Amino acid sequence: MHCVQNITQDILFLGASDRRLALFENVFPIPRGISYNSYLVKDEKTILLDTADNAVGERFLENLAYGLEGRPLDYVVVNHMEPDHAATLMEVLKTYPQAQVVGNAKTIAMIGQFFDCDISGRAVTVKEGDTLNTGRHTFTFLMAPMVHWPEVMVTYDAADKVLFSADAFGTFGALSGNIFADEVNFEQDWLDDARRYYANIVGKYGVQVQTLLKKAAGLDIAYLCPLHGPIWRENIGWFVEKYQTWSTYAPEEKAVAIFCGSVYGHTENAADIVANCLAEKGVKGIRLYDVSKTDVSELVSEAFRCSHLVLASATYNGGIFTPMENFLLDLKAHNLQNRTVAVIDNGTWAATAGKQMREIVEAMKNMTVLENGVSLKSSVKEAQRAELEALADTLAADILA
Ligand code: FEO
């Protein structure tokens, strides 16, 4: 049974949500599910923009059949070949044998890699700025390599001023009937997941996102249609500004997150002391995370949000406590930059985690590691409380400046 909504008079939303999947890409927890968006434009010719994941394939194909109302499908645009959007492409091509596949050269090659099928006779290969007219609508194809794969492109419809933005402007989270961002409280209920999606999925590719934002700035956009999450038709500039911040690795807020890797609670005690000192000095909105208990995708997301990071880790097997090391390597892999970082380590016979944490952070761009780190021997002694307070002093002065 179909589940379709109109975006404009002749543009339909055909997507569906998966609330059963535990891990997106088999790595990122999605307790609120995920939507796979697909769009059908019913012009003189019919044109489908991306397909959907296999998990929702049956519903998506029913939606497509309903949307077409018995008409043939003329074109399928593949903006992104990742299987969460393209797994059902071959099923669509089998069901609608006259449909032509529109993609760039990289996309067409990837289709041959994923599917054992020769589509050369029905491929329309496009490059930057090429257009396709379907009657009232004219679609322009703009390349967006590495947002999030090398073949990614976005498609702009000048008639209804719609940017089909592929993974850009997507978010984790299933859609619950309200497919538009202005129908939900996005800032309250979605922003954290949108940031976590951005930081973990495309955070590494800030330069390429900047290139896409520059292209988008030249377009008159009334509808922003991503492949995941709500569609934007109001206050688009607010969300674009978030992307501007995230893709330039600027902190979203002047705020502190304390990340703590503690084996028996002594390192956590030091982290708590710093948190309390910061609060006493007037710092608000402090977040303290146990890196063993919090999924690393959330930790990475918080590092993208906050200007100041405190890393407190036990020494483990002569190195950094494993979950903390995993977190820091993930941050480095995602190109995080421009943060102020305080380091606390702990060790019973040799506290080496601090030195190694510094080495990882200092290898990242424009990171300021505070000089007055604190090194503990097994537990916090009264004599070292002053060192932790001094560290909090430095942080608070910077945050509240
Ligand atoms: Fe939603 Fe990069 O796929």
pTM: 0.97
What domains sit in the chain, N to C, each tagged with a CATH number? Answer: 5-247 (3.60.15.10), 253-395 (3.40.50.360)
Beta bridge partners of residue 258, listed in sequence order: 288, 310
Q: Report the helix count and the strand count for the chain, using DSSP H and E.
A: 13, 23
Atom number, ligand 1, closest to the C-alpha of residue 152: 2
Distance CA 99, CA 12 (A): 18
Please list, in sequence order, all residues whose beta carbon lies within 8 angstroms of the beta carbon of residue 278, skipping any fewer than 6 positions away: 256, 286, 392, 395, 396, 399
Q: Is 70 helix (H, G, I), strand (E, B) or coil?
A: coil
* SS3 label, residue 386: helix
Ligand 1 proximity of 228 Cβ (cutoff 6 Å): yes
* Chain mean position to CA 128: 24
Ligand 1 pocket, residue 50 CB under 6 Å: no
pLDDT by residue, tens only, the chain of 401 residues: 789 999 999 999 999 999 999 999 999 999 999 999 999 999 999 999 999 999 999 999 999 999 999 999 999 999 999 999 999 999 999 999 999 999 999 999 999 999 998 898 999 999 999 999 999 999 999 999 999 999 999 999 999 999 999 999 999 999 999 999 999 999 999 999 999 999 999 999 999 999 999 999 999 999 999 999 999 999 999 999 999 999 999 999 999 999 999 999 999 999 999 999 999 999 999 999 999 999 999 999 999 999 999 999 999 999 999 999 999 999 999 999 999 999 999 999 999 999 999 999 999 999 999 998 999 999 999 989 999 999 999 999 999 99
Q: Is 259 left (phi over 0), alpha (psi -120 to 50) or beta?
A: beta
Contacts 24+ apart (CB under 8 A), 126-132: 126/102, 126/153, 132/47, 132/75, 132/102
Residue 167 CA: nearest ligand 1 atom is 1
Q: Is 82 in the pocket of ligand 1 (CB under 6 A)?
A: yes
| Ligand 1 binding pocket includes 148 (Cβ within 6 Å) | yes
> What's 304's DSSP letter?
H
* CB 167 near ligand 1, within 6 Å: yes
d(C-alpha 392, C-alpha 278), whole Å: 6
CA angle 192, 164, 80 (to 5 degrees): 85
Give the rounded distance of the alpha carbon of 246 from its chain centre: 10
53 lines ligand 1 (CB under 6 A): no
The helix (run of H) or strand (run of E) holding residue 382 is helix 382-400
Atom 1, ligand 1: residue with shortest CA distance: 167
Nearest alpha carbon, ligand 1 atom 3 = 82
DSSP readout, 227-293?
A: SSS-BBSSSHHHHHHHHHHHHTT--SEEEEEEEEE-SSSHHHHHHHHHHHHHHHTT--S-EEEETTT
In the chain, the amino acid numbered 356 is Q
Q: How far apart are CA 351 and CA 349, in angstroms?
A: 7
CA 216 to centroid of ligand 1, rounded, Å:
19
